[in-house]
Amino acid sequence: MYEALGLDAQRTILIAIMLALGVAGIAALFVGLFARTKIRLPYSAEVGFVALLVGLLIYGDATSTSTYRAYEALLPREGEVGVADEAPAGQFDKNVRVLAFQWGFLFFDGDKALRNVVQVPPGARVLFRIGASDVIHGFNVPAASITAELEPGETRYVWLRAPDRPGKYLIQCLNYCGLGHAQMKAWLVVGEPAEEDHDGAEEA
């Protein structure tokens, strides 16, 4: 998602061109005001200059639209994500029980219990059944734009569609839950299965 906000090479070049044009324009203004001999530009130069500006405008609009489209494609579609107190209807590719504790997440995936990491295939529909063992925690997956509040003794269901792009996606606690709150992170690993348990939070 940072691509949507960052300045990639194209945009940096565009900004450099606009800055150069701005500086050239101000310089031309001063030359026009203070130069002893008046310089006359041919009309073709004016037409060319306006065409350059229009071209930049169209190019800028096209790149900004494509950036937004790419961002939009990452957003979850209707029904793909949700939070509820009851198990949602429908089939899921993966069902994972989660325990939030001071300070971390335990993922029960089949016969494995993994600390701070859960493995899912790209694009899989995943259902998390989450409980908190001690105090109020949160379960936030920024890549799926979803957050749930977890109260001890209660069960919350969170479902999402895993990103299509393999990689490590952050899961974090969003409710202040004591000294270790800031370190209460886990990874949603999309792609290849991990060889062993590992504490993802330390790699952050």
> Residues 59, 68, 176, 203: which binds ligand CUA (CB under 6 A)?
176
Residue 5: strand pairing partners: none
> Residues 184, 188, 189, 190: which binds ligand CUA (CB under 6 A)?
184
Residue 162: strand pairing partners: none
Least CB distance to ligand CUA at residue 198 (A): 20
CA-closest candidate to residue 176, choices 103, 85, 115, 98: 103
137 binds ligand CUA (CB under 6 A): yes
> Residues 107, 181, 187, 188: which binds ligand CUA (CB under 6 A)?
181
**How far apart (Å, rounded) are the C-alpha atoms in residues 149 and 117?**
19
119 binds ligand CUA (CB under 6 A): no
> Residues 177, 189, 190, 201: which binds ligand CUA (CB under 6 A)?
177
CA-closest candidate to residue 164, choices 192, 124, 127, 122: 122
| CA distance readout (Å), 195 to 74, 98, 112, 198 | 28, 20, 12, 9
Least CB distance to ligand CUA at residue 150 (A): 8
| CA distance readout (Å), 7 to 4, 16, 39, 64, 136 | 8, 12, 38, 11, 38
CA-closest candidate to residue 132, choices 174, 160, 161: 174
Name the segment binding ligand CUA (CB under 6 A); options: 10-18, 45-53, 87-95, 168-176: 168-176
Least CB distance to ligand CUA at residue 200 (A): 15
171 binds ligand CUA (CB under 6 A): no
Retrieve residue 121's tokens. 């295939």
Would you say 184 and 153 are in contact if contact means Cβ atoms under 8 Å apart? no
Q: Which of residues 13-72 bind ligand CUA (CB under 6 A)?
A: none
116 binds ligand CUA (CB under 6 A): no
CA-closest candidate to residue 194, choices 117, 105, 113: 117
Closest CB to ligand CUA among residues 116, 175: 175
Least CB distance to ligand CUA at residue 97 (A): 17
114 binds ligand CUA (CB under 6 A): no
Tell me the number of residues near ligand CUA by CB under 6 A.
8
Residues that bind ligand CUA (CB under 6 A): 103, 137, 173, 175-177, 181, 184
